Amino acid sequence: MKKLVKLFICLMFVAVAVGGAYAQFAKSEDAIKYRKSVMFLIAQHFGRMGAVVKEKAPYDQKAFTRNAMVMESLSHLPWEASMVPGTDKGDTTLNAAVFAKQDEFKASAQAFEAGSAKLVSVSESGDLSAIKAQFGEVAKSCNGCHKQFRTR
């Protein structure tokens, strides 16, 4: 429990400390590594919440809310790294459609950010049916973006 809080604090510190500079990657490979790292962390926290929503793990409101908070913080980070030229080539699943449809990509990113923020507030209510519904909305935003902007 304390590890998650410490992780959240560290992530917030990194986000603030790197905030102005993270858009200035030295190489496209650096942007890819950054983006993949953030997406890995998002997937880990989303998966933990998904197990609860699918009733494969017990519901613990505090743990669920902490995971939602971490994911919400992370939700703001990968987008700049996605817009670096050349990041659709190499060790990545990013599709070149990101560059051709930038407005749609940004709208998808904003929908994920907004949905993640709402998931935090809904999770704080403790209403599991509302949590499941909002979790589903966030999952839809993930899937919509992945279908259009991710190559498998």
For residue 152, the model assigns a pLDDT of 81
Q: Are 39 and 78 in contact (CB under 8 A)?
A: yes
Lowest mean pLDDT among 21-25, 76-80, 127-131, 141-145: 21-25
Sorted by where each starts, the structural domains of the chain and their CATH numbers stand as 28-149 (1.20.120.10)
Residue 10 has pLDDT above 80, yes or no: no
Nearest CA to 141 among 121, 111, 119?
A: 111
What would the pLDDT profile of 23-67 be if each residue is shown by its tens digit?
Answer: 579 999 999 999 999 999 999 999 999 999 999 999 999 999 999
What would the pLDDT profile of 92-125 be if each residue is shown by its tens digit?
Answer: 999 999 999 999 999 999 999 999 999 999 999 9
